Amino acid sequence: MSELHASDMHRNCKMSLLFVIDTIGGSFMRLVCKTRNGLWKLRPRQIIKDILEVGFEYATLDIGSILEPREYELLHRNNYKRTSDKIYLTEHPEELRKEADRNITSIAKEEGLKLSIAVGPCAPADIKLGKEPEQAAAEINKIYRKLGIETALAAADAGCESVVVYPLFSGIESGHEWEINKPFYLEVAKAVKDTGSDIQILLINRIKNINGHFVRGICAEPEEACRWIDELNAELGQERFGFCFDVGTGTLCGQELFTAIEPLGSRLKAAIIRDCDGANDVSMLPYTACLKGQQTSWLGCIRGLRKTGFDGDLIMDFAETYDAFPITLKKTVLSQAFEIGKFFLWHINIENVIKKYDKRVLFGAGNMCRAYLKNYGEEYPPLFTCDNNSSRWGEDFFGITIENPEKLKELSPDTAIFICNMYYNEITEQLRKMNLPNPIEWFSDEYMPTFHMDRLEMAKDPNSGK
């Protein structure tokens, strides 16, 4: 993402939130569209074009697009009516790489969509194992072991930088998960190493179903996740393994997202951003699960990702929301997902943007400015703040002076101006008309590390802060 400088004056002064988010720098995070949805098998090329047109550059190589999760339940149903021209990957796992290339990789390459990360197949936590559950569970794990390896190889073929490989779980007794999964993950690592690929293998937090209730499953506890990753990497003598945190899974498990994410630290390489209602394992657009009851803690999520210094793949997963809309509105859903994703990038990256500058000033002298000073003022002190309300010029505001905006013209060009006011577009336009050479950034206090609940009594002047 490039910085916004006054040299861009020729552009339209009407700036959207999206444009400015796109211009804040210092991050290596990638916004990734998860490709699983009900229409994928029918019109993958058109969906890829839509993904690109709304602004996404990256997408997942999602094996769930070509392998239905419920297909695992058909393994022992000999009377199930199968479509003659369909490849059932649970029955023919050796076909996965070819099917992935035919259905996703080759089309994405032709259209210019980058596949940065692959997501492997996974049987649902509430899978029905039939009348012979032990035999069915053993069969599922046998097939899934092959699918996991083939997924990693397909990801390497596609040039992905990482692949999410779900753990074996079906029929495994509690306490024996590690002894079963350790050789499985090492087998996956050997398979990709033999191809010469340096792709990173990501573990993921899981849920399990007990009598119709979702509870924390494999690697849902961050301490367990960290131990598994560290032991696998120690076994290999290299950092081949990392972690992908699924926000929806954390919500279903009733976890406080900050405490679930923060301990992962630098092991966290990807995050799946999806909303759910706290009861059903679904993928909804963030901020849309607005029913009463347990809600996704986006505050805890963003704080946790920021605390880890997250700079990996931010994966937007909204399959059920996408599928619910009429065909003529589905592109609108994609566009909304892109906007929300960039909003997340902005908030996760705010601290990185602040600290990349040696010198900074603020614009605005209200609650948002005070939030900056309370959270970052000591470590990243501003030279001053300014405000359009002339009655406040010269006032001491929590240790800094409120200045006339004209003083900004005296700044060296490398001093960043952080807008601390909700009128971002209007103030950005004002600054650009001043022909300032300085970088312009937007600050927000919506997801700060700490909140200060006592609010300032703002000036009566209706133009204050504008």
**In 415-427, which positions are buried (b, 16+ CB within 10 angstroms) versus exposed (e)?**
bbbbbbbbebbbb
Residue pointed to by tokens 């990638």 = 30
DSSP, res 392: G
Question: How many other C-beta atoms can be found within 10 angstroms of the C-beta atom of residue 79?
Answer: 4
Task: State both tokens at 286.
Answer: 């963030």
Q: What is the pTM of this model?
A: 0.89
Residues 261 and 301: beta-carbon distance below 8 Å = yes
- Give dist(CA 168, CA 176) in Å, integer: 11
Which of 178, 175, 96, 108 has its CA nearest to residue 143?
Answer: 96
Q: Which amino acid is at 127?
A: I
The one-letter amino acid at 223: E
3-state SS class at 317: coil
| 373-377 contact pairs (CB < 8 A, 24+) | 373/398, 373/399, 373/400, 374/398, 374/448, 374/450, 374/452, 375/445, 375/448, 375/449, 375/450, 376/351
Q: Tens-of-pLDDT digits for all 466 residues of the chain? A: 333 333 333 333 333 343 334 444 444 799 999 988 877 878 999 999 999 999 999 999 999 999 877 787 776 665 566 777 788 888 899 999 999 999 999 999 999 999 999 999 988 887 777 777 788 788 888 999 999 999 999 999 999 999 999 999 888 888 999 999 999 999 999 999 999 999 999 999 999 988 888 899 999 999 999 999 999 999 999 999 999 999 999 999 999 999 999 999 999 999 999 999 878 899 999 999 877 656 799 999 999 999 999 999 999 999 999 999 999 999 999 999 999 999 999 999 999 999 999 999 999 999 999 999 999 999 999 999 999 999 999 999 999 999 999 999 999 999 999 999 999 999 999 999 999 999 999 999 999 987 655 666 554 454 444 4
Q: Which of 442, 388, 449 is nearest to 24 (CA)?
A: 442
List of domains in the chain: 1-25+356-466 (3.40.50.20), 27-351 (3.20.20.150)
Give Cα separations from 96 to 61, 64, 147, 165, 449 (angstroms).
12, 11, 7, 14, 44
In the chain, how long is the greatest CA-to-CA distance?
Answer: 82
Strand duo 440-442 + 385-386: pairing:
unpaired
Q: Which residues pair with 208 in a beta bridge?
A: 215
Q: Answer yes or no: are the C-beta atoms of 105 and 157 closer than 8 Å.
A: yes
Pairing of strands 200-204, 162-164: parallel
